[in-house]
Chains A and B, each alone.
Chain A
Amino acid sequence: MVPLSRVTPATVDVLNALLNGEAPIWGLLVVKQTSRPAGSVYPILERLEGSGWVTSEWEDDSERTGPRRRLYELTSDGAAAAREIVATAESRSRARVARVVAAPNGIAAGAS
């Protein structure tokens, strides 16, 4: 598995969807669950697969006709690394929210 060169908020959302969704998960469902455009999600899935974080396979549904759906799943190493990234992103997000909440209080305290 190759470490990701950059982790964008969209990457975190995709990793979150892959961690929380039913595995393996259909690519289009990742688009839907992240509410990110397919133009963001498709390249991220390709990058994750190319880096060995994710594997993909065709859906094995003999009842459905037409083109097959592609299902994605985190590898065991990928899942562990994804949990770390998501946890780091969430803690950063909480810290940012705390700063935003704290800033007006500090201004108010200074004014009084």
Chain B
Amino acid sequence: MNNDVILRVLALMLPRAVRARYLEEWRADSFAAADAGLRRRDIVRGAAALTVTIDRDLPANTDEPRGAVPRRLARRGLGLFAAAAVVLAGAWLTNGGILPEGPSTSPQALDALNTVAWISLRLAMLAILVGVLYFGRAAIMARTTLARTAAAAAMTGPITIALAVTFDPHWTVLLAGIVLSAFGFAAGLAVVTGPSPLSLERRVASWSVRLPAAMLGAVVVALILVIGAVDLLVWNPQTQVPGLSLHAIYAQMSEVDQFSQSTALVQVTLWAALWGGLAAAVVFRAARRSQTWMTPRRVSILLLAIIGGAVFFRFFAGFSIGMSIADTFRTTGANTSIVSAVLPYVGQFALATAAVLSGWAPKIHNANTSEARDVAVA
């Protein structure tokens, strides 16, 4: 391959800020290599060595304080891993996704749920893969030994686990992968949240930006709470016992299982009030003039986490109703309503999105200003 082409390719692997400078320098050296008693190949080797060893975290190369870029990359990796963990944990808890098998569920709805389960698993795998790439880049850029070791462990750990699960070698390989991942996450968290003196940016949002975002999010939370509550009290019992009216269902549950309708109603109301109250608190806080830290990203993280939490704890709010229906009518979880099958995905995706958003803190723009010293990075 032509030496100049190789130099161009090597320059592309350098930080953007110094690409043009080094390419021109190498070319000048390459043209005059023979005069200095060198071969052009020697210049290419020098350029290759520089590409590998260059300090990618140098503030002159990144236009950010040292440590800011690898920390941001590691944080994005952690966000993606956390999102994947949420989806995979959801798949594990619901045994691959809830599939309502009652007569009222259409085949199209079942197909759609199967597709969502298939896509969510692949998205989780993709998130892990991209997270590994982020950790890899962080490891290459980081200059401290702890940061490099943490990022390298967080990168190789999941790969080792994936290989162990795929090829089923000796159990120690899986254990090594788990230990590596755990160490990588713990040390990575220490690096990401550690006390190294970075210049941090005060990110603010105006009242007119954050309040609509908070209100829109709160409306979505309220919608999910209403749908979730109605499903627990009305739709799910009717789907589980299709032949009876709602009144008859509850009457029979009271007679056979000593089911207390008022207690169940209180439980569901408390559940809705708790999570609805949290969403309202976010809106009230965003409405206060002083709360400039509530950028749309942060508001979204809070409200998505509330949705995730509400959906997860809905299981406990509806537990007594579900158990009583099962005991009274000998139904199983497979008779569940379509809303009960869909809501877990809503909760998982909300939490996963919150994790990704929390990892996606924007780039620091005011690293050289005096106020960029004492504020949070989140």
Contacts and interface: CB of A to CB of B under 8 A. Distances in A.
Partners in one complex: yes
Interface of A: 27-29, 31-32, 37-43, 46-47, 50, 66-70
A11 to B, nearest CB: 13
Given A31-B46, A37-B46, A67 B28 contact: yes
Main secondary structure of the interface of B (DSSP, over half): helix
Contacts of A69: 25, 28-29, 32
Given A28-B32, A28-B36, A66-B31, A41 B46 contact: yes
B50 A42 contact: yes
A27 B36 contact: no
Given A38-B43, A67-B27, A28 B50 contact: no
B38 A50 contact: no
9 contacts: A29-B36, A31-B36, A38-B29, A39-B45, A43-B50, A50-B55, A66-B31, A67-B27, A68-B28
B209 interface: no
B37 A46 contact: no
Interface of B: 21, 24-25, 27-29, 31-33, 36-38, 42-43, 45-50, 53-55, 58, 60
A50 B58 contact: yes
Contact of A39 (B28, B31, B46, B60): B46
Contacts of B32: 28, 69
Given A66-B27, A68-B28, 19 more contacts: A27-B25, A27-B29, A28-B29, A28-B32, A31-B29, A31-B36, A32-B36, A37-B45, A37-B46, A38-B29, A38-B38, A38-B42, A38-B49, A39-B45, A40-B49, A42-B46, A43-B50, A46-B54, A67-B25
Contacts of B29: 27-28, 31, 38, 69
A46 B45 CA distance: 15
Nearest to A66: B31
A46 B53 contact: yes
B335 to A, nearest CB: 66
A46 B36 contact: no
A32 B24 CA distance: 19
Contacts of B60: 50
Given A28-B38, A38-B38, A70 B46 contact: no
B49 A43 contact: yes
Given A27-B29, A42-B46, A68 B24 contact: yes
Contacts of B58: 50
Contacts of B24: 67-68, 70
